[in-house]
Structure 1
Amino acid sequence: MTHHPLTPARLLPWTSPEGKPCYLLTDGTGRLSRAADIAEAVQLDMAADLLAHLADLLDDDTPVTAAQLRYLLARTREALTDVCRIAESRGARLRADAPALTD
């Protein structure tokens, strides 16, 4: 794989065991890029499912326990963290692909 020096590193949709961001130098066609694309799709689907569950919970008049709310908030935090990382990664790739503006 040839890496163009102006192509920014791709922020991957997972972190290191220490919780640090992981990056990939790629042209976007390799096996790890495809794995990252799949991971992003799974994370986005999970976030959508969580939002649907949250909507159902809010529409239901049945009381919820503090433990249930804490669990839902923890999963929501995880999903939002994933979605923000995906948005940052995709935004950086869009900016890299955008034609340069000239005067």
Structure 2
Amino acid sequence: MTPRNELRLLPWSGPDGNPCYLSTDDSGGYMSRLADNIEAVQLGMAADLVEQVAAVLGDRDAGSEDLRRMLAELTGALRDVLRVANSRGHLLTVSELSPGEGQSGTLLS
């Protein structure tokens, strides 16, 4: 298991909404790849949502319900993107300090 400062923040929350972390020395392991794939999907969805929001904002006939829905979706996407950015920023910092190799992995939440 890796030290606490090397835990990877995962792109999903635990049952109580708490952050989940992965402890592993294997950046190519199953859980790391799963997290990478989910992060890519979240970033793609956020990019698509930005285009949808721009379209709704340009629509003079868009009502307050449309705007509220878009704001709610945009808030969720922004939360996901921030989590990805924090996780990747932390991973960059840790990899600069100590590039580890190994096969072990533990999921923490």
Q: Does the alignment reach a TM-score above 0.5?
A: yes
Which residue of structure 1 lines up, in the alignment, with residue 29 of structure 2? Answer: 30
As a proportion of its length, which structure holds more strand? 2
TM, length-normalised to structure 1: 0.85
Give yes or no for the alignment of 1:53 onto 2:52: yes
Quick one: higher RCO (CA 8 Å, sep 6+), 1 or 2?
Answer: 2
Unaligned runs of 5+ in 2: 99-109
Match of 1:67 among 42, 65, 68: 65
Which residue of structure 2 lines up, in the alignment, with residue 94 of structure 1? Answer: 92
Give the C-alpha shift of residue 7 in structure 1.
6.3
Instruction: Provide the aligned C-alpha RMSD in A.
Output: 1.8
Amino acid at match of 2:19: P
Change (3 A) 1:65 1:59: closer
Aligned residues, how many? 97
Which residue of structure 2 lines up, in the alignment, with residue 41 of structure 1? Answer: 40
Unaligned runs of 5+ in 1: none
